[in-house]
């Protein structure tokens, strides 16, 4: 017996920006990418939010091949797109600027063009690295952008490409993401804690450590609202960040404190400056994002970063390494 997709019906809702909406029993959200940590968190949480989530990445959807993007998206007929695929190797981007720009700018534009062709909303994931980090306070959406790196510049240009392709967009800026999945700072610290007694960590860069699980939950809640409400105030650029901020060294110290509480193993932090730990790409000294706007427009808030980080450390310590590996 051949089982096809659920029967699709048509209803008219005045809140929808596209008038008659084709819908299924579950609204379908398409996420670009193969296996990134945010995608994995979205996939994990989508059933809880009552959404049918599908993901497409290379080779079928290749951000370097705009035609493949349009074809892959049109074949799936989603109700909303989360544009999460990107070139995220910040330091490698300095040596591969053409690839970074093609992926993060032109590729983002191609995804947004596909959303426009279907007349559906798109949530595009951007970065805190669009800012210089010279501001002493958290950055708002109205602050001037001034990226220090090729990666940051490519993400900023990607935002412009999305805006040019469709007005029905939300651009989410987030940074310092971590989760039980893939490669991220928290998991790197846990790996170092297993084999070293002292770890050197940069202490003069500050940000808001952001759980990708909490971010995914917020994005899915936002997706629900976008599908129900076409108001222009719900479109545009929004910062997504938890309460509280920390330096990388502060973040590491908290992680190691949670490890010590669970295992009685103590790890010492050696705080160093960015100058003592040079990288190919410059990083903002202040990556803190002000999330007031998303709270006011969507009612979305995130837990304090320490609350989420403690939970993720506990998950990582309990799960076999193969379950959290990329």
Model confidence band, residue 215 (pLDDT cutoffs 50, 70, 90): very high
Alpha-carbon distances, residue 107 vs 61, 90, 101, 103, 243 (angstroms)? 10, 17, 8, 5, 32
Query: Is a pLDDT exceeding 60 seen at residue 271?
Result: yes
Q: Which CATH number fits domain 10-182+208-245+282-303: 3.50.50.60, 3.40.50.720, 3.30.390.30, 1.10.3720.10?
A: 3.40.50.720
pLDDT higher than threshold 60 for residue 318 = yes
Catalytic residues: 151
Task: Name the pLDDT band for 319 (thresholds 50, 70, 90).
Answer: confident
Interatomic CA distance for residues 215 and 96, integer angstroms: 29
Q: What pLDDT is recorded for position 35?
A: 87
Q: What residue ranges do the domains of the chain occupy?
A: 10-182+208-245+282-303
Q: CB-based contacts of 202: which residues, under 8 Å, 6+ apart?
A: 247, 248, 249, 271, 272, 273, 274, 277
* Residue 20, pLDDT score: 46
What is the torsional sign of CA 110, 112, 118, 122? positive
Q: What is the pLDDT of residues 216-254, one digit of tens each?
A: 999 999 999 999 998 999 999 999 999 999 999 999 999
Query: What average pLDDT is seen over the chain?
Result: 91
Written as six digits, the tokens of 309 are 């980080």
Q: Residue 250 CA to chain centroid, in angstroms?
A: 22
């Amino acid at each position: 017996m051949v089982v096809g997709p659920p029967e699709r019906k048509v209803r008219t809702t005045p809140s929808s920006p596209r008038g008659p909406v084709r819908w299924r029993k579950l609204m379908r959200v398409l996420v670009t990418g193969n296996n990134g940590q945010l995608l994995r968190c979205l996939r994990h949480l989508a059933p809880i939010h009552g959404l049918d989530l599908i993901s497409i990445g290379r080779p079928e959807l290749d951000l370097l091949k705009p035609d493949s993007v349009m074809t892959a998206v049109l074949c799936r007929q989603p109700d909303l797109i989360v544009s999460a695929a990107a070139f995220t190797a910040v330091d490698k981007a300095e040596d591969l600027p053409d690839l970074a720009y093609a992926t993060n700018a032109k590729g983002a534009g191609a995804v947004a063009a596909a959303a426009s062709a279907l007349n559906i909303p798109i949530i595009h994931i951007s970065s805190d690295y669009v800012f210089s980090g010279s501001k002493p306070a958290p950055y708002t959406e109205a602050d001037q952008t001034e990226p220090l790196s090729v990666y940051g510049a490519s993400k900023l240009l990607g935002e412009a490409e999305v805006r040019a392709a469709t007005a029905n967009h939300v651009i989410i800026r987030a940074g310092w993401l971590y989760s039980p999945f893939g490669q991220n700072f928290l998991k790197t610290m846990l790996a170092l804690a297993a084999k070293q007694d002292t770890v050197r960590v940069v202490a003069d860069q500050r940000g808001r450590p952001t759980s990708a699980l909490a971010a995914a939950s917020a994005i899915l809640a936002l997706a629900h609202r976008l599908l129900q409400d076409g108001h222009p105030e719900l479109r545009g650029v929004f910062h997504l960040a938890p309460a509280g901020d920390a330096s990388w060294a502060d973040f590491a110290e908290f992680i190691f404190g949670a490890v010590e509480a669970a295992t009685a193993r103590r790890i010492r932090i050696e705080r160093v400056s960015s100058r003592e730990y040079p990288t190919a790409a410059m990083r903002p000294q202040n990556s803190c994002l002000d999330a007031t706007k998303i709270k006011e427009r969507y009612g979305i808030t995130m837990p304090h970063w320490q609350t989420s980080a403690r939970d993720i450390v506990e998950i990582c310590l309990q799960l076999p390494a193969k379950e959290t590996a990329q």
